[in-house]
Amino acid sequence: MTDTDTATVIRELSARLAVLEDRQAIVDLMTSYGPAVDSGSEEAVARVWTEDGVYDVDTGIMRGHAEITAMVRGENHQGFITNGCAHVLEPGNVIVDGDTAVATCKSLLILARPDKSAFTVLRATANRWELIKTADGEWKCTRRTSRVLDGRSEAPRVLAEGVPGPDGTLKHGAGAGTIGRA
């Protein structure tokens, strides 16, 4: 190979690696939510999002780190932890488009029953994570949209917006879910 050939091949290898590294970073980000939320580690929960990131749940919308940490410290969430709870996340279906990405998956909120004999699945929820690669190369969530799958039509629509067409791309792009936006 000439030097030019070698440089080109190395650049191509590095680009292929970068694709996988982005995917790994997104998995790391998403899986960091669970241990943080179920242990009440409020700052680590907030770090999943950008400073002004939005967590839009059917039960309420949180904008920015302060509102997200307030939710973790709140009576409702602290009651879940004291009672015994598990926020379980299945692997996301991730579609990356440059420095943005969408991950679509379901989550379960599972609570210990009062008599501790077993657990109840309180919520099964459709999730859309809109993600960006920040200036310093970290992936963060800009908006997570969560709708409980209790028959309301917008919950399956959250999932449908994460389903790519035959060409592998999303109809609404990586950054623009329509559910829950004004």
- Residues 5 to 64 in contact with a copy of itself, rule: CB under 8 A: 6-7, 9-10, 13-14, 16-17, 20-21, 23-24, 27-28, 30-32, 34-36, 38-41, 43-44, 47
- DSSP state letters, the chain: --HHHHHHHHHHHHHHHHHHHHHHHHHHHHHHHHHHHHTT-HHHHHTTEEEEEEEEETTEEEEHHHHHHHHHHSHHHHHHHHH-EEEEEPPPEEEEETTEEEEEEEEEEEEE-TTSSSEEEEEEEEEEEEEEE-TTS-EEEEEEEEEE-SS-THHHHHHHTT---TTS--TT-TT---TT--
Q: Among residues 2 and 135, whose Cβ is nearest to a copy of itself? A: 2
Q: Which of residues 153-172 bind a copy of itself (CB under 8 A)?
A: 155-157, 159-160, 162-164, 166
Contact between 91 and a copy of itself by CB under 8 A: the answer reads: yes
> Which stretch, 58-66, 67-75, 120-128, 172-180, contacts a copy of itself (CB under 8 A)?
120-128
The residue (of 57 and 108) whose beta carbon lies closer to a copy of itself is: 108
